[in-house]
Amino acid sequence: MDEAVASPRNRRIARAVALVRRKDREEQRRFLVEGVRGVRDALESGVALGDVFHLAGSGADLEPVLRAARASGARVTAVSPEALRRLTATVAPQGIVAVAPFVDVPLADVVAAASLLAILVEVRDPGNLGTIVRAVDASGAGGLAVTEASVDLYNPKVVRAAAGSLFHVPVAHQVTVEDAVAAVRGRGGRVFAAAADGRLSIYEADLGPGAAVLFGNEARGLSAANRAMADATVRVPIRGAAESLNLAAATTVVLFEAARRRESAAAAPRRTAQRRSLH
């Protein structure tokens, strides 16, 4: 039987509510995960959740993830609608919120894991960052670096937009651009800077394993100093009348172009073998 807590002033609930503030997240090194998808993905990834709060009397749709949370050792608590509203940032919460430990990893681990490393420089929109985390996961890019001047990786809007992918993708958080570029070069990788006026099309640039792409602020792009760190600037070709793509869309296009290249390279030996077998 889950513990039942009615008051949002309960000490554990108040400590969890504090995690909506960045200062408290960094002090506790914990963050909030809302919704069935996020909590389920955290559990399936082996993240050791602390508290899991759910709406008292919640429907059967929550029961599988609640069973998994109990089995993992998380403290599962039924709360009142008022308490749940204080824990969530959404207008229509899904009835479950969990407290998770920070999941970011050292920069060296991310660089080693990434087939194409996206380095986000002064990205300020939480929806963009969350969407990019999801795109890194979906494309199989293998890693992401978020610089110290960017929006907080654990902002509730970022976590929600990432839709569980934060638990699948190695992310280095609050790194410097200089350290990220140096780490890529230290492993022999090339560094590109994404820009609307980039010299190379993404279809021309060598986005092979070990490469990295710098993506800049939504309004200003990359500074001249950041662009100067790269081997070349790259652009997403615009075929129609649109002036440009927003940051998350452009990053996704680059990530999937790199994924297409990897798949094509992996398939080349098989195609050669098939042709030889026909002769």
- CATH code reported for the domain at 3-101: 3.30.1330.30
Supply the pLDDT for residue 158: 96
pLDDT class of 97 with cuts at 50, 70, 90: very high
Supply the pLDDT for residue 7: 63
Supply the pLDDT for residue 154: 97
* pLDDT surpasses 90 at 83: no
Supply the pLDDT for residue 77: 92
Supply the pLDDT for residue 91: 52
Does 182 or 273 have the greater pLDDT score? 182
* pLDDT surpasses 70 at 175: yes
Domain 107-268 has CATH 3.40.1280.10: yes
pTM for the whole thing? 0.90
Supply the pLDDT for residue 84: 87
* pLDDT surpasses 80 at 70: yes
* pLDDT surpasses 90 at 279: no
- Percentage of the chain surpassing pLDDT 90? 77
Q: What is the mean pLDDT of the chain?
A: 91
pLDDT tens, position by position, 108-159:
999 999 999 999 999 999 999 999 999 999 999 999 999 999 999 999 999 9
Point out the least confidently predicted range of 31-40, 215-224, 261-270: 261-270
Supply the pLDDT for residue 86: 87
pLDDT class of 57 with cuts at 50, 70, 90: confident
* pLDDT surpasses 70 at 5: no
What is the average per-residue pLDDT within 176-190? 96
Supply the pLDDT for residue 244: 85
**Cα-based torsion angle of the residue sequence 12, 43, 25, 180 in order, rounded to the nearest 10 degrees:** 170
pLDDT tens, position by position, 256-272:
999 999 998 877 556 55
Supply the pLDDT for residue 243: 84
Domains of the chain, by residue range, sit at 3-101, 107-268
pLDDT class of 88 with cuts at 50, 70, 90: confident
